[in-house]
């Protein structure tokens, strides 16, 4: 059995680092809708890669990073219209993906596997990419911890301290987009958002410092993934939805406990 | 060098002028009180001075430079204090944000000592490890005052810093502001600020009436402040 699930456990470990840092930042910066938009928009990158026959990881990384920059500009320039514009990017990305897919016969099922992902099927090259992105995330959070925290609290004040808050925000969205690419194989476009935000939402309630919120999110994410993998393995059901259902039940319990 | 120079400043968000032909100067270490009705443009003026907004016409200089280039020397207390309250962040961490600057990624021991010292001065050291959500409105306001002071600014700009603070706390904070030897601009709806040792008074209602004088010679007299000065400032001949 270990042989069959070992790579999914490694993937869970690597993903939990991204969930800890990026998931928590998504929640405290209220960028859930933006993340959903980049995640779904990434389908455009996948379609493009299949059409061109180029590397999915590389093409999708570039494509989603571009979406992240566009979304950063939109949210900074048009804060009052951002919710509608975020929805537009969401749809445009998916449409691009579907158009390229219809131009590329024979790859439909390939593309669909990215919608729901399968953590039991991750390959070594996926693990390597996850490791690289984790490293980028860890280095970023070590140096930018205080800036990210100040950005989440009061962006105007950060500007006052002479720090380019808009650039920092754009960088954060690019990191988000790379995190999405690293998770797509394992988790799938549709459920990435849930896996990244639920642990952080629970952790936020029980912590006083952002640092502990990150640690708790990562641990929760890991527990959800590993238990989801085991359950889906034994009952032969799809892993990602299992993980999301487990996480949602715990979220619900944590909300009830508060009352 | 003048601390602040504002020349022929005009500003509008959309069609209507919010500020019209504002002119004033502030010397180093002077204390200016800004009063005026709701919607008069006080917050807008501060945001222009901070470089968060750009003048539609006219010019602003902060110690000889455009505001955007000289922001770091300003300590700012915003009018609204209800930022993301769910954020897991303690009072101490918020105050430390005042020590952030370009090229600096970690807080030093000195930053932490400074933050402690300011919290002590404001009598809120006991709140240092509390989550911001668990504070009262007045306590939150004090935290933001601490965050502004901890950077040791050359200019302090405060937008109604005492609106949520109890009377004895207000006195404490105004005493403190009065004692700071830096350039100060304080917006207030509380006319008692005029009883303070202010050098200039700006009454902002689209246009500005600036009342100044060598130490202003405001007799420390309630009647003068609450009746005559306001009447004077509102006088038609002042153009309001
Ligand atoms: N972001 C904005 N967009 C458009 N109009 C604005 C904006 N902010 C303020 N205004 C308008 O500008 C005018 C001045 O507002 P401002 O907030 O500067 O007043 P204020 O003197 O600070 O008032 P208060 O005493 O209530 O704080 C008001 O008429 C307001 O409606
Ligand atoms: Mg105001």
Ligand 1 nearest-atom number relative to CA B204: 21
Task: Give A154's contacts in chain B (Cβ within 8 Å).
Answer: 78, 83, 97
Asked whether residue B38 is domain-assigned, the answer is yes
Confidence grade of residue B234 (pLDDT, cut at 50, 70, 90): low
Ligand 1, atom 9, residue with closest C-alpha: B44
Asked whether residue B132 is domain-assigned, the answer is yes
A–B CB contacts, 8 A cutoff, strictly below: 78
B109-127: pLDDT as tens digits = 999 999 999 999 999 999 9
**Number of domains chain B is built from:** 1
B40 lines ligand 1 (CB under 6 A): yes
Asked whether residue B33 is domain-assigned, the answer is yes
- The whole domain housing B157 covers 4-235
For residue A248, give the nearest of A193, A177, A181 by alpha carbon: A193
Q: What was the ipTM of the complex prediction?
A: 0.87
Distances (CA, A) of A215 to A21, A110, A200, A208: 8, 35, 9, 12
Q: What CATH number is given for A2-258 in this structure?
A: 1.10.3470.10
Give the pLDDT of residue B239: 41
Average pLDDT of chain A, as a whole number: 94
Q: What pairs with residue B202 in β-bridges?
A: B34, B210
Instruction: List the CATH number of the domain containing B127.
Output: 3.40.50.300
Q: What pairs with residue B212 in β-bridges?
A: B200
Asked whether residue B240 is domain-assigned, the answer is no
pLDDT, one tens digit for every residue, chain A (259 residues): 787 789 999 999 999 999 999 999 999 999 999 999 999 999 999 999 999 999 999 999 999 999 999 999 999 999 888 889 999 999 999 999 999 999 988 877 777 789 989 898 899 999 999 999 999 999 999 999 999 999 999 999 999 999 999 999 999 999 999 999 999 999 999 999 999 999 999 999 999 999 999 999 999 999 999 999 999 999 999 999 999 999 999 999 999 876 5
* The residue count for chain A: 259
B38 lines ligand 1 (CB under 6 A): yes
Residue of A nearest to B133 (CA): A208
B92-114: pLDDT as tens digits = 999 999 999 999 999 999 999 99
H helices present in chain B, as ranges: 42-49, 91-96, 109-121, 137-149, 167-179, 222-223, 230-234
Asked whether residue B187 is domain-assigned, the answer is yes
Task: Give B147's contacts in chain A (Cβ within 8 Å).
Answer: 157
Residue B131 is nearest to which of A150, A156, A208, comparing CB atoms? A208
Q: Which ligand is nearest to the CA of B18?
A: 1
Interchain contact, A157 vs B76, CB within 8 Å: yes
User: Whole-structure pTM over 0.80, yes or no?
Assistant: yes
Confidence grade of residue B214 (pLDDT, cut at 50, 70, 90): very low
Distances (CA, A) of A39 to A60, A194, B44: 10, 11, 38
Give the C-alpha separation, B120 to B128, whole Å: 10
Give the C-alpha separation, B143 to B137, whole Å: 10
Where exactly are the structural domains of chain A?
2-258
What single DSSP character describes residue B39? T
């Amino acid at each position: 059995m270990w042989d069959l699930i070992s790579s999914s456990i490694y993937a869970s470990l690597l993903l939990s680092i991204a969930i800890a840092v990026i998931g928590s930042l998504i929640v405290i910066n209220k960028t859930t809708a933006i993340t959903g938009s980049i995640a779904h928009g990434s389908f455009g990158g996948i379609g493009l890669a299949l059409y061109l026959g180029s590397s999915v990881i590389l093409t999708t990384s570039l494509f989603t990073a571009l979406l992240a920059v566009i979304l950063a500009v939109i949210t900074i320039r048009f804060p009052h219209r951002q919710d509608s514009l975020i929805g537009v990017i969401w749809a445009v990305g998916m449409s691009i993906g579907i158009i390229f897919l219809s131009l590329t016969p024979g790859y439909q099922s390939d593309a669909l596997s990215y919608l729901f992902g399968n953590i039991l099927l991750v390959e070594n090259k996926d693990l390597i990419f996850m490791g690289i992105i984790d490293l980028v995330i860890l280095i970023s959070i070590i140096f930018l911890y205080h800036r990210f925290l100040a950005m989440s609290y009061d962006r105007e004040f950060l500007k006052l301290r002479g720090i380019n808050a808009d650039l920092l925000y754009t960088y954060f969205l690019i990191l988000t987009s790379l995190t999405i690419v690293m998770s797509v194989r394992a988790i799938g476009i549709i459920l990435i958002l849930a896996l990244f935000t639920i642990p952080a939402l629970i952790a936020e309630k029980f912590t006083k410092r952002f640092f502990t919120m990150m640690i708790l999110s990562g641990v929760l994410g890991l527990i959800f993934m590993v238990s989801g993998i085991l359950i889906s393995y034994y009952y032969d059901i799809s892993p990602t939805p299992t993980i999301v259902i487990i996480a949602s039940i715990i979220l619900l319990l944590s909300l009830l406990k508060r009352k | 060098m003048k601390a602040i120079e504002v020349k022929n400043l005009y500003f509008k968000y959309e069609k209507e002028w919010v500020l019209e032909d504002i002119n004033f100067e502030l010397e180093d270490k002077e204390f200016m009180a800004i009063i005026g009705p709701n919607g008069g443009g006080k917050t807008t003026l501060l945001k222009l001075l901070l470089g968060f907004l750009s003048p539609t016409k006219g010019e602003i200089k902060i110690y000889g430079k455009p505001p955007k280039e000289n922001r770091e020397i300003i300590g700012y207390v915003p009018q609204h204090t209800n930022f993301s309250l769910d954020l897991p962040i303690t009072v101490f961490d918020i105050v430390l944000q005042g020590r952030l600057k370009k090229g600096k990624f970690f807080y030093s021991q000195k930053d932490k000592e400074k933050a402690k010292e300011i919290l002590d001065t404001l009598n809120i050291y006991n709140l240092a490890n509390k989550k911001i959500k668990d504070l009262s409105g007045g306590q939150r306001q004090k935290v933001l005052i601490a965050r502004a002071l901890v950077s040791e600014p050359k200019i302090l700009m405060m937008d109604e810093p005492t609106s949520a603070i109890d009377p004895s706390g207000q006195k404490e904070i105004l005493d403190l502001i009065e004692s700071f030897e830096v350039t100060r601009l304080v917006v207030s709806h509380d006319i008692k600020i005029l009883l303070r040792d202010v050098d200039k008074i700006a009454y902002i209602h689209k246009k500005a009436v600036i009342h100044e004088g060598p130490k202003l010679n405001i007799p420390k007299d309630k009647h003068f402040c609450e009746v005559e000065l306001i009447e004077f400032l509102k006088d038609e001949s002042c153009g309001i």
